[in-house]
Amino acid sequence: AQSVTQPDIHITVSEGASLELRCNYSYGATPYLFWYVQSPGQGLQLLLKYFSGDTLVQGIKGFEAEFKRSQSSFNLRKPSVHWSDAAEYFCAVGETGGSYIPTFGRGTSLIVHP
């Protein structure tokens, strides 16, 4: 069965600092990988996705992620964090073969200090 591990429950950064959120997955085939962001009281918003091709994926709001097959990782990065980036971030791996059912990690809560 597929699984996703987000090892950091909370991450605290200063505004303007760089950010990296870790995600490791377990899946038997080439995975579909996603990062979502959830702000309080809001639904999940897709930041970026990887299906195939270039392993460095650009997303919205200045985020990027890199798929590393050898490390089973899909870490999310941003060079300079804004206070509005404070939210919950979820990594997910999607089933291939038609259903695209995602399995989500437990999330990482990003706290941004001014």
Q: Where do contacts with other proteins occur on this chain (CB under 8 A)?
A: 4, 32, 36, 41-46, 49, 51-52, 90, 92, 94, 99-107
Output the smallest distance, CB 76 to other proteins, in A: 14
Q: What angle do CA 13, 66, 43 make, to 5 degrees?
A: 65
Per this entry, what is the length of the chain?
114
Place of tokens 């897709």: 46
Which amino acid appears at position 108 of this protein?
T
Task: Name the residue nearer to other proteins (CB basis): 5 or 72.
Answer: 5
Output the smallest distance, CB 19 to other proteins, in A: 19
Output the smallest distance, CB 15 to other proteins, in A: 25
Which residues are paired to 89 by β-bridges?
37, 108
